[in-house]
């Protein structure tokens, strides 16, 4: 199975208690959930093959024998031999290259959990972007990566250090991966993995990299001991990310991004229901369930709201920063449970312990951890009103009857908005879809051409609105978008929307024409979406002279949806 099987070792009877011993396991591995092999056509340069690993959360057991639990940490070393012209990188503090032998040697001097061991190899070159940071990318992408991040990472690291103490990992490098990378970013120590597709969306790039920077303290240095408490990494990292963005970009921007994410949290809650057990912070991990299935917005945003609540109990967020510095110093390179965090918090603030804040009616710590549903309290986002109020005003203009399209169209110039303002506006239109035909028609007339020139995070949301409203005049833009996307985060939501409505035959046609440019794993996922409830549907004429959808075979069909997976089209977040 994907989860592997236990390797049991019989130790010699003569071995004394606590006596050191060495175990050597000889093994081979070629494929598995952790290892992603890419043909050259699946890279941007189309020149050389590419491979990367993704260990989170229990995939690295298919990469090497390990104690695949976040409760166990160790150092590691690796020797990697690769063909000439292939650059190899790992999440390690030290590396050397023996050119004559084509051998790379890596060593991670600090203990890390198994899921943070990562490898990437391909046609990669680098450039320094700061005193302790460099960016790695395919040659055709490197200039863009440099222009987006030069000088920025050091600024974010310095801000994080001022809040939470020294950065302990030495270097902070970033490698941009091809669009087949299955998630947005991964906080591998010393070497953040991030999907190249995000490069065109500046504000999302900023937030995603800062979030991974925050993991250097929360998640990597101090780790959740069990996958049932992932909020200890993700909730704290999200809180730290927002402290860093407040320091570097101001409170208004942070509040705007938070409003966008909390909107998505409530969207997911509406989909799942308030009594769903996955909305708990201490969620129960049933036997045989992949912990990654428990990764949801509650892990991030409900976790963040609890951490924010704790910070508010201190009165001044700088006092809470001091506590978090002490928490990191006490527990770095170890794994913790929630009680460790909360006990440390109450011991650091004895006056709060005397007030029994952990038992405050309706806001008990135990209730935060084990109650289903929304956060018990949410942050005050009024400092972002200068950015969020125009969004609310415009949304109201477009959804109030009778529609005054002239007033709505003239009220705002979207090209002058921040990305997070535009996606927040579009997400709220998505929530209200299907819209009256007059509204979607006027929206298209006002904004469609403007949105065409904006980044993919914005464009995909407009195209989801087009699909959910069966707005055929703009359907050719959906085709064009999918013809140019190889990323999971920009294809799956559209295919899910297409197959939920009346446009499945259109989806089949586009998939048939584009499937060769998709990674086999992504191709299989889309095939599963297309095969669910598959019925013969007439082809939809979306362009002049379109022929009927070519006959195709859907391979690897599944009889049911993946175990409790949350539909991406109803979440509308990328990270």
- pLDDT per position as a tens digit, 61-71: 999 999 999 99
Q: Are residues 125 and 60 in the same domain?
A: yes
One domain for residues 232 and 363: yes
Q: Assess contact for 338 and 347: CB atoms under 8 A.
A: no
Residue 183 lies in a domain: yes
The answer to whether 313 touches 352, Cβ cutoff 8 Å, is yes
Based on the domain organization, do 451 and 354 belong to the same domain? no
Residue 274, C-beta contacts closer than 8 angstroms, at least 6 positions apart: 372, 373, 374
pTM given for the model: 0.92
86-90, 271-275, 553-557, range with greatest mean pLDDT? 86-90
Q: Is the dihedral of CA 200, 211, 375, 57 positive or negative?
A: positive
CA-to-CA distance for 545 and 81, rounded, in angstroms?
A: 53
**85 shares its domain with 190:** yes
The Cα–Cα gap between 442 and 403 comes to: 10
Whether residues 41 and 189 share a domain: the answer is yes
Picking from 346, 380, 414, the residue at the C-terminal end of a domain is: 380
Tokens matching residue 359: 């038992």
Is it the case that residue 560 has pLDDT exceeding 50?
no
Among 138, 212, 229, 301, the one annotated catalytic = 212
CATH of the domain at 316: 1.10.390.10
pLDDT at 377: 98
465 domain-assigned: yes
| pLDDT (mean) for 289-306 | 93
Q: Are residues 374 and 420 in the same domain?
A: no
Does one domain contain both 313 and 348?
A: yes
User: What proportion of the chain, given as a percentage, has pLDDT over 70?
Assistant: 92
Examine the pLDDT at 17 and tell me if it is beyond 60: yes
Same domain, residue pair 309 and 436? no
3 a catalytic residue: no
Q: Residues 90, 244: contact at Cβ < 8 Å?
A: no
Res. 281: pLDDT tops 90: yes
User: Which residues are part of a known binding site?
Assistant: 211, 215, 234
Q: Residue 372 falls within a domain, yes or no?
A: yes
244-275 pLDDT, tens digit each: 999 999 999 999 999 999 999 999 999 999 99
Q: pLDDT class for 121, splitting at 50, 70, 90?
A: very high
Is residue 335 in a domain?
yes
- Residue 534 is predicted with a pLDDT of 53
- The CATH number linked to 457 is 1.25.40.320
**Count of CA atoms in the C-beta half-sphere (13 A) of 399:** 16
Neighbours of 544 (CB within 10 A): 6
Let me know if residue 507 belongs to a domain. Answer: yes
Q: Does residue 214 have a pLDDT over 90?
A: yes
The residue annotated as part of the active site, out of 104, 110, 115, 300, is 300
Is residue 242 within 8 Å of 301, Cβ to Cβ?
no
- Please answer whether residues 67 and 59 qualify as being in contact, where contact means their C-beta atoms are separated by less than 8 angstroms: no
Same domain, 237 and 373: yes
Domain count across the chain = 3
Question: 218-252 pLDDT, tens per residue?
Answer: 999 999 999 999 999 999 999 999 999 999 999 99
Output the domain CATH number for residue 126.
2.60.40.1730
The DSSP bridge pattern shows strands 103-113 and 94-98 to be antiparallel
Q: Do 346 and 229 share a structural domain?
A: yes
- Which of 354, 380, 406 is where one domain is finished? 380
Residue 565 CB-density burial (10 A; 0-12 exposed, 13-18 middle, 19+ buried): exposed
Name the more confident of 406 and 25. Answer: 25
Binding site per annotation, positions for Zn(2+):
211, 215, 234
Q: Are residues 49 and 139 in the same domain?
A: yes
Q: 44 catalytic, yes or no?
A: no
Domain that holds residue 100: 35-144+163-194
Question: Is 92 among the domain residues?
Answer: yes
- Cα separation, 303 vs 314, whole angstroms: 18
Residue 294 lies in a domain: yes
Q: Is the pLDDT of residue 541 over 70?
A: no
Alpha-carbon distance 174 to 128, whole Å?
A: 10
> In terms of domains, do 46 and 188 share one?
yes
User: Would residue 270 count as lying in a domain?
Assistant: yes
Contacts of residue 423, Cβ cutoff 8 Å, sequence gap at least 6: 260, 457, 458, 461
Asked if 474 and 505 count as a contact pair (C-beta separation under 8 A), the reply is: no
Q: Are 205 and 198 in contact (CB under 8 A)?
A: yes
């Amino acid at each position: 199975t994907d989860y592997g099987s236990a390797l049991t070792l019989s130790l010699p009877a003569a071995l004394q208690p606590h006596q050191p011993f060495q175990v050597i396991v000889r093994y081979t591995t070629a494929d598995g959930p952790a290892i992603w092999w890419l043909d050259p056509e699946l890279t941007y340069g189309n020149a050389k093959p590419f491979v990367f690993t993704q260990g989170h959360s229990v995939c690295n057991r298919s990469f090497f024998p390990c104690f695949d639990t976040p409760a166990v940490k160790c150092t590691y070393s690796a020797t990697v031999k690769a063909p000439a012209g292939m650059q190899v990188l790992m999440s390690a503090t030290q590396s050397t290259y023996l050119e004559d032998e084509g051998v790379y040697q890596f060593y991670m001097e600090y203990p890390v959990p198994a899921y943070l061991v990562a490898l990437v190899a391909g046609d990669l070159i680098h450039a320094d972007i700061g005193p302790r940071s460099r960016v790695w990318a395919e040659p055709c992408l490197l200039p863009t990566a440099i222009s987006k991040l030069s000088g920025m990472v050091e600024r974010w690291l310095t801000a994080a250090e001022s809040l939470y103490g020294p950065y302990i990992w030495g270097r902070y490098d970033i490698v941009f991966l091809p669009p087949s990378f299955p998630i947005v970013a991964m906080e591998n120590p010393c070497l953040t993995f991030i999907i190249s597709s995000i490069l065109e969306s500046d504000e999302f790039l900023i937030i995603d990299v800062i979030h991974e920077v925050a993991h250097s303290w929360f998640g990597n240095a101090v780790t959740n001991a069990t996958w049932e408490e992932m909020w200890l990494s993700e909730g704290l990292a999200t809180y730290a990310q927002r402290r860093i963005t407040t320091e570097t970009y101001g409170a208004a921007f942070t509040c705007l991004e938070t409003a966008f994410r909390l909107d998505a949290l409530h969207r997911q809650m509406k989909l799942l229901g308030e009594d769903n057990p996955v909305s708990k912070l201490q969620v129960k991990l049933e036997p045989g369930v992949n912990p990654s299935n428990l990764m949801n917005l509650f892990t991030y945003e409900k976790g963040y709201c609890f951490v924010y609540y704790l910070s508010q109990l201190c009165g001044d967020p700088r006092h809470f920063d001091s506590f978090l510095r002490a928490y990191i110093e006490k527990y770095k390179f170890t794994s913790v449970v929630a009680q460790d965090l909360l006990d440390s918090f109450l011991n650091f603030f004895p006056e709060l312990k005397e007030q029994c804040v952990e038992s405050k009616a309706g806001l008990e710590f135990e209730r935060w951890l084990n109650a289903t549903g929304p956060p018990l309290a949410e942050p005050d986002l009024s400092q972002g009103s200068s950015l969020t109020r125009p969004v609310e005003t415009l949304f109201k203009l477009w959804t109030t009857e009778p529609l005054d399209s002239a007033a709505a169209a003239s009220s705002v110039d979207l090209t002058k908005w921040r990305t997070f303002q535009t996606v927040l506006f579009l997400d709220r239109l998505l929530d209200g879809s299907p819209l009256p035909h007059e509204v979607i028609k006027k929206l298209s007339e006002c904004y469609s051409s403007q949105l065409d020139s904006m980044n993919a995070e914005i464009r995909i949301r407009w195209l989801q609105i087009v699909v959910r409203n069966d707005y055929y005049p703009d359907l050719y833009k959906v085709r064009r978008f999918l013809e140019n996307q190889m990323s999971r985060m920009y294809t799956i939501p559209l295919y899910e929307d297409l197959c939920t409505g009346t446009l499945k035959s259109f989806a089949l046609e586009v998939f048939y024409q584009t499937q060769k440019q998709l990674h086999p794993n992504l191709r299989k996922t889309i095939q599963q979406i297309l095969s669910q409830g598959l019925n013969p549907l007439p082809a939809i004429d979306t362009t002049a002279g379109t022929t009927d959808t070519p006959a195709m075979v859907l391979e690897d069909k599944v009889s049911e949806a993946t175990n409790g997976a949350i539909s991406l089209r109803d979440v509308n977040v990328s990270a």
